Structures are given as structure tokens and as C-alpha cells.
A and B are shown apart, each in its own frame.
Chain A
Amino acid sequence: MPKIPVRFTLNEAEVGLFVEPQSNLLEALRRGAGDLSPKYGCGQGTCGACTVLIDGEPHLSCLTLAEAAEGRRIETTAGLAQGSSLHALQTAFIEGFAAQCGYCTPGMLMAAKALLDRNPRPSREEVIDAISGNLCRCTGYEPIVDAILAATEGRAA
């Protein structure tokens, strides 16, 4: 089957790719566009390591067909920092020791960013709910939740 052309913006840059008809957005981003920040964890939509924002909403890129990205605005962790200055979430994750192996971190950050963009002052329960689709096997959920809350406070200050 012939490859399909797909155009979208990735972290504010225009991208055009030819993708396999059945391939998913995760592979298109990683091997096609060269953005390696979304991770493969399960391919089944259970772990959240591949979470990216599509038009501001968190999506599991492993379950999203690449062609469905046509014309969309995609954000990943690679585009979170503005130049050399880190996003408040990134700083909070660093200071709060909110990563160990780091494999779930890009997905966590995207799920958290979607929340904060929608709700700048979430409660602890809302934070927990927002990352409930993201697994961390080093079991650092507490520091992750703390870091997300710290990021909201830093923003208010």
C-alpha cells in the first residue's frame, strides 16, 4: 500500500511526512519526525508514556493513527522549554525529584501541562485525576503530584 502524506505542526514547527497506512502517531513522531520524547511503553493505551497534546488535549499517540494528525497542532515534551528556560513544570520536577528512571516523565509532563493549561490552580485530587492514565513503575507518584502542585504555585507567584 502506498504511503500517506501527513502535515501537522509539531511544537510550533511545520512537519510533513509520508507514513504507512496503519502506522501510529507515536512511530510517526519518533522515527518520522525525529522527536524521541514520547516513549513506547505498552502500545495498548494503558501506560501513558506516549502521551502527547493534540490541539491542547492529551492523547495516547500509540493508539492514534498517524494520518489522524493531519492539520493538527501537536505538542510534546521536547517543545516544553522555551529556548534554554525551562517550563515551570520541568523546574518543579527537577527540584522535587519527581523522576527516577525518567521513562514515564515525558508523558507525565504532557498530562500535567494539559491540566494546567485548562485549570491553572488545580486541587490535589484534580492533579491525581489528570495523571491517572500515566503509570510510573519506580512508584514516585507522590513527588510527581507534589511537583505539579508546586508548579502551579510557582506560576502564581
Chain B
Amino acid sequence: MSSVEFRKELFADERQDDLKQIGRPAIRQDIRGHVTGRTAYYDDHLFERLLHMRCARSPHHHARIRSVDTSEAARMPGVQRIVLAKDVPNNLNTLLSLINFGKDDEPLIAGTKVSYRGEAVAAVIAETELQARQAAAAIRVDWEVLPHVLDVEEALKPDAPQVNAVYPDNTFDYEPYDHVKLRFGDVHKGFAAADEIVEATYQMSPIEQAPMETCGAIAVPETADRILCHTGTQALFFSLGTTAKLLDMPSSRLHFVGGTVGGGFGGKVDSITEPMAVLGAVLTGRPVKFQWDREEEMQVGAPRGAERWVIRDGVMRDGRIVARSFTGYFDSGAYTRLSSYAGTKGVGHLPGPYSIPNVAANVFCIFTNRTPATAMRGFGITGVDFAIECHMDRVAERVGIDPISLRILNAYRDGDMKAHRRTAKNTALVECCQVVADKAGWRLSAEDRAASSLTGTTAERQAIPETALDEEGRIGERRAGRVTGTAPTERSTGRLPAGTRGRDHAAIPVQRPDMEILSERVGHRMPDPAEAGGAPPLAAAAPARPTPPAASPPPARPASASPPPASPPHAAPAPPPAPPRQPEPAQPAHRSEPTAPTAPARGGHDPAPPAQPKPYEPDKPFSRGVNRPGVSRFLTGRRR
């Protein structure tokens, strides 16, 4: 009973249609194990003298830990060990630090304060699960309850409680701004020219991944001074690297076994149970299992984060959307986890699959005292897609046009320029709309029926328009009360000439120079350096300090041996108190005259900004080294 239907007549000439498997039944290679009960998930390994770990957790959204009294718990039957924050060798991490994105902001076990309900403050290791549970309940914590904030917009106010000490403004740092900026054309000019303005707010709730198998890991001391770890993680090497970092041990001492996951859906990348179990095994010398029960999975397990989107459209009476602005709020919860990435990913998706000549977006990743959010099935995309498509219906209603017709009218055609300055290819929304209308018995006009993704692009739709730039919302300004608005501002401070593609940039300085990723080598560089090189930086690429036009890199970079160009040296992330107006963006003609202020910074190592905690400096390497040309032949070359 296959419900799959193939429309092979669509784009037939663009496709070499010799697929061998698509459309044919296949036997899963792992299914025999599933139906015989022999598939071994992490918990399906038996060990003698297995110990069980349970956590004592915060009942408060936000509280300082005055003291933790473990004396009663330690005397309870079966208790082998109580683990506190001080037992974690390097008790501060952020998941994406392994790919150089973000600052370490989250302890494995909270030591001084908790920032969400359910955050672990201690762990008990006992002979049985029940004994561990009873002892964990007997741990007494002296709390100093702090005011909390649970709403993203409340968290942006200058007097909001500070959720995460590493990000005192309650926003993730997208250097040099406290949000991701997308600027394409001039959205306010577009609004002024539009017949109708349609604005609405959309709110999504957190969603728990709820896999059938809860998160967990079993760690076992092995011979040769290694720790074996069976885990249900979705990201085996991520979990291994995170464990090595948190426990300050070389990754060569860790033997991770995984890959058989009882459902993940994004909820098993956070790598919490693995370091906990391995720490337990190190401290007790015995096999230790740390398995979340269902309540923990629901309460503590990081969900898809809540999102709030404000969409404002400028529409002509004929249905053409001429301007669209977004204000997006990703609720990261108390710590970053993967929400920083959700923000950038979401922005790359804007304005949805539609050709709109003026687009602007301010997207925030905001810390609140809610459960930290993480990956889940298209996170960063599904929420804003929901908002965009609801909004399309709203727009259709306002201008009195059939909702499918409105989508066909505005849909990307092959060759159109997207707001992030890449050309749309292999578009198919028009055809999707037509098939959906057919299936639903929806009447389409002859014009809509004749539309095609292959035709309809124009020189205007292919062009990159002149773009209004602004400098509003630098890190720290909001907290200081100097900026209150969150929507893309009308106060433009410069214009980017039409046709400017922009250049690649690093969102924030990397923590360790040897972890710098060379964009040339991972294939993220814009395709045409000559075209990109002279352009003034786009949006987040703007340098933190006002710099002369020559801040841009030379037009043609040497292929590999150049100093890392992708990290604009934001030596002082704290912005100047009142940023002087940004000079007019560079004209292409100026580009080959580097001047003094920027020269020393380029290629140099970023000194650690004073306000941040000490960057992680392992005395033993935890195998990571992408910036060593020639070290490995597997790391050189360009993926394209």
C-alpha cells in the first residue's frame, strides 16, 4: 500500500532518470535485529557490578546555590559516591565549541547557580536505581531564589534578570550585534510604496522530541586505562569530544560505542549523559549507568525551542509582496546548546520560498530561565515556515486573492536572487502548488495553471538591489538602554551598492587559534573572490570598531597559505559607548589600500576578551585540528 506518487513528467529533461532504488520496496539492513529483539541499544549490554546514577535537580527556575548538604544522602544504603560540580574537571562547555561557535556557557553540574528548573546540582551513584533515587531526594540544597524571566521579549529589557553570566545581555553574541541581521534592498522604502501593510505575530511552543528510548549511557572502565561508553547519542563523536573536554581527558582514553539509537529526532545530541556516566566510572572504578527516566526526558531533555516571529509585509493590490521584514525571537532557554545555530539557519531560510525585492530580518537568540532548547527535526526552519505560510494566507485574505494563486505569483523562479544573495536553482514551489490544488479539487486560473518554475524570472528578480545598512543593536547597547526596538530599524547608516554579494565571515572570534576553520578549505567561501573582495562587510561581518573602508580583505586571496581571513579581529567585543557613525561603505575602487588601523589585527590571535571566563586550555589535546595544512591529507582539498 504505497502512498508515494511520482510526478516524473515534471522537470523530466533536467534529470537523468536512472534511479535504481527510489520507488521500489527495500529491506532495511537492521530490521532483522529489530524484529527478533536482538538489536543492541546502549542499555542492552549487561555488566557485573553495574552502578546507577541519579541527579538531584533544581526545583527553581533561577536560584543561587548557597550550599549543598550531602551528609544524609552519603549515609544511605548502597550509595557509592556523590558527584558535585567540583568533581567535574572542566565544568563549563558549550556544545558548538567543538566547531568553534559560541562561548562556553553551561556547567555539566551547576555549582554556583541554577538557571532552569530541573538543572542538575548533584548526582548520586548507588548500587541500585532505587537507592540512587532515594539518596538523590535526600540531598539538601540551600537556595537563594532569584527573580526569573520566562519570556523572550521580557528578557531583552535592561532590567531583566541575568540568566547566563557568560551572556550578560540575555542574547547570544552574533558579533558585533546581539542578533543576526539580514538586509536585502530597502525594506522601509518598500513599505512606503506598498498598497497594504500586513503585520502579525506568530508564537510556537517548545516541542519535546520524546524518543521511545530515553537519553542514557553506560560507562565501563576498560583495560589499558580506557573508558568504554555505550550510548544512545545521535552524535557519537560530538559526545566523545564533549566528554573529553568536560572531563579534561584525551579522547584516546575514550572508547565510545553507539549508533543504535532508539529514536532521537534531535534530542540526543546534547551529550549530557555520556560525560556524566564516564565521570561516574572514573570516580568509582565500576560500570555506571546514567539513564534518564521519562519524567527527566520530558522536563530536563532539551526540546525544540519556542519561537516568536513578527512578520510585516508590504503588498501591492495585485498580490506582489514588495517588502517583508522579520523580527524573530528564538527562546534558547538557559544555555546556548544549538539555538545559536537555529538563529543563523533560520535567517538563511528567509524570506521563505518567495521572490521579494526588499527583505530585512533581526533574529535574536535569547536566554530565558526555561529548559535549554536544542535540535529537533528541522529546527530553525519549521517554526518560521509555519509563520510565513500562515502569513501568506493572511496576506491573501487582505488583498482578496486566492491563497494558492498568491503563492504562485510570488514563488521563486529558477534564476531569481534570494535574500541571502544566492541564485535560486531547481525551484519547484509553483509545481507543488499546482499538484496540491489538483489533489484538493481547488480551482486554479488558467494563468496559474500555465505558470512554471522554469519561466518568469526577470532581470529585476535576478538582481541584487542597493541595500540599506544599519548599525543598530550592537552587543551591550540594549542592556545599557541605548536601544529599545527589536524590529529592523529605519535609521539606515549607509548603503551597499547594488550587485554586492558580500563575503564570508566568522560570527564570533574562535576560542583557540588552532581551531580556526579556514573557509577556503571547508568550501564555504563565496564563489568569486574578485567580486566579493572589494565589498564592504555585510551585516554581521562589520568590524566591531569603525574602520576605514580598506577593512575588506584584498580581492584575490591566496588559496591556502593566507592568514585566516574569516575571523574579523574583534579585539574588543564590548562596543564603544556611542559608536560613531559608520563611514560610508567601501567603494570597490578603494579596496587595495590597507591602512594602519586594521593591518595589525588581521591574522593575529584574538586576545581573550576580559569579561569572558578563561578560555578552555587543555594541557592534553582532544584531537581536533583543522587549521594545520598538510597535517592530514584527509583535511586538505576543497569540498564543493
- A residues with CB within 8 A of B: 20, 22, 31, 34-44, 46-47, 49, 76-78, 80-81, 86, 89-90, 93-95, 97, 99-106, 109, 135-138, 142, 146
Which residue in A47, A109, A138 is a CB contact (below 8 Å) of B35?
Answer: A109
Contacts of A102 in B (CB 8 A): 30-31, 33-35, 39, 262
Mind listing 12 A-B residue pairs with CB under 8 Å? A22-B130, A36-B46, A39-B213, A40-B213, A47-B294, A78-B36, A94-B35, A102-B262, A103-B211, A104-B212, A105-B37, A146-B1
Contacts of A136 in B (CB 8 A): 212
A103 touches B41 (CB 8 A): yes
Contacts of B43 in A (CB 8 A): 36, 40
How far does the alpha carbon of A100 sit from the alpha carbon of B31 in the complex, in Å?
Answer: 8
Most buried by B among A34, A135, A137: A137
How far does the alpha carbon of A77 sit from the alpha carbon of B1 in the complex, in Å?
Answer: 26
- Interface presence of B32 (CB below 8 A): yes
Contacts of A22 in B (CB 8 A): 130
Most buried by B among A42, A81, A100: A42
- Interface presence of B15 (CB below 8 A): no
B294 touches A90 (CB 8 A): no
Chain B residue with Cβ nearest A78: B37
How far does the alpha carbon of A138 sit from the alpha carbon of B402 in the complex, in Å?
Answer: 35
Contacts of B36 in A (CB 8 A): 37, 77-78, 80-81, 86, 90
| CB interface residues, B 14-58, toward A, < 8 Å | 25-28, 30-41, 43-44, 46, 50
A20 touches B128 (CB 8 A): yes
A94 touches B46 (CB 8 A): no
A95 touches B35 (CB 8 A): no
B263 touches A103 (CB 8 A): yes
How far does the alpha carbon of A21 sit from the alpha carbon of B291 in the complex, in Å?
Answer: 22
B37 touches A137 (CB 8 A): no
B35 touches A90 (CB 8 A): yes
- The answer to whether A49 and B37 touch (CB under 8 A), given A43-B294, A101-B262, is no
A44 touches B261 (CB 8 A): no
Contacts of A105 in B (CB 8 A): 34-35, 37
Chain A residue with Cβ nearest B26: A97
How far does the alpha carbon of A76 sit from the alpha carbon of B44 in the complex, in Å?
Answer: 15
Which residue in B40, B46, B212 is a CB contact (below 8 Å) of A101?
Answer: B212
Contacts of B293 in A (CB 8 A): 43
B211 touches A101 (CB 8 A): yes
How far does the alpha carbon of A77 sit from the alpha carbon of B32 in the complex, in Å?
Answer: 12
- Interface presence of B65 (CB below 8 A): no
Contacts of B214 in A (CB 8 A): 40-41
Per-residue A-contact encoding for B110-142, CB less than 8 Å = 1, 0 else:
000000000000000000101000000000000
| CB interface residues, B 126-172, toward A, < 8 Å | 128, 130
- Interface presence of B210 (CB below 8 A): yes
Interface size, chain B (Cβ < 8 Å)? 36
Known: A41-B214, A46-B294. 13 other contacts (CB 8 A): A22-B130, A37-B38, A39-B262, A41-B294, A93-B31, A95-B25, A97-B26, A97-B27, A99-B35, A100-B263, A101-B213, A101-B264, A137-B265
Q: How far is the CB of B4 from chain A (nearest CB, A)?
A: 12
Chain A residue with Cβ nearest B211: A137
Contacts of B261 in A (CB 8 A): 101
How far does the alpha carbon of A49 sit from the alpha carbon of B213 in the complex, in Å?
Answer: 9
Chain B residue with Cβ nearest A101: B263
- The answer to whether A99 and B37 touch (CB under 8 A), given A39-B262, A41-B212, is no
Which residue in A20, A47, A76, A138 is a CB contact (below 8 Å) of B37?
Answer: A76
Contacts of A109 in B (CB 8 A): 35
Q: How far is the CB of B65 from chain A (nearest CB, A)?
A: 29
How far does the alpha carbon of A86 sit from the alpha carbon of B212 in the complex, in Å?
Answer: 25
- The answer to whether A103 and B213 touch (CB under 8 A), given A94-B27, A97-B26, is yes
A31 touches B46 (CB 8 A): yes
Contacts of B26 in A (CB 8 A): 97
Q: How far is the CB of B273 from chain A (nearest CB, A)?
A: 14
Q: How far is the CB of B432 from chain A (nearest CB, A)?
A: 22
Q: How far is the CB of B558 from chain A (nearest CB, A)?
A: 47
How far does the alpha carbon of A103 sit from the alpha carbon of B36 in the complex, in Å?
Answer: 11
B31 touches A94 (CB 8 A): yes
Chain A residue with Cβ nearest B30: A102
Chain B residue with Cβ nearest A89: B35
How far does the alpha carbon of A34 sit from the alpha carbon of B46 in the complex, in Å?
Answer: 8
B30 touches A36 (CB 8 A): no
| CB interface residues, B 251-310, toward A, < 8 Å | 261-265, 291, 293-294
Contacts of A34 in B (CB 8 A): 46
B294 touches A86 (CB 8 A): no
Q: How far is the CB of B291 from chain A (nearest CB, A)?
A: 8
Contacts of A43 in B (CB 8 A): 293-294
Which residue in B1, B37, B128, B213 is a CB contact (below 8 Å) of A106?
Answer: B37
Q: How far is the CB of A16 from chain B (nearest CB, A)?
A: 18
How far does the alpha carbon of A146 sit from the alpha carbon of B294 in the complex, in Å?
Answer: 29
A135 touches B212 (CB 8 A): yes
How far does the alpha carbon of A78 sit from the alpha carbon of B213 in the complex, in Å?
Answer: 19
Contacts of B34 in A (CB 8 A): 93, 99, 102, 105
Chain B residue with Cβ nearest A38: B37
Which residue in A39, A90, A94, A95 is a CB contact (below 8 Å) of B212?
Answer: A39
Contacts of B294 in A (CB 8 A): 41-44, 46-47
Nearest 9 CB-CB pairings of A with B: A37-B37, A102-B34, A103-B262, A77-B37, A42-B294, A103-B212, A90-B35, A36-B44, A99-B34
How far does the alpha carbon of A102 sit from the alpha carbon of B35 in the complex, in Å?
Answer: 8
Q: How far is the CB of A11 from chain B (nearest CB, A)?
A: 10
Chain B residue with Cβ nearest A79: B37
Contacts of A31 in B (CB 8 A): 46, 50
Q: How far is the CB of B126 from chain A (nearest CB, A)?
A: 13
How far does the alpha carbon of A20 sit from the alpha carbon of B32 in the complex, in Å?
Answer: 34
Q: How far is the CB of B43 from chain A (nearest CB, A)?
A: 7
B40 touches A36 (CB 8 A): yes
How far does the alpha carbon of A74 sit from the alpha carbon of B40 in the complex, in Å?
Answer: 21
Chain B residue with Cβ nearest A49: B212
A39 touches B31 (CB 8 A): no
Per-residue A-contact encoding for B211-227, CB less than 8 Å = 1, 0 else:
11110000000000000
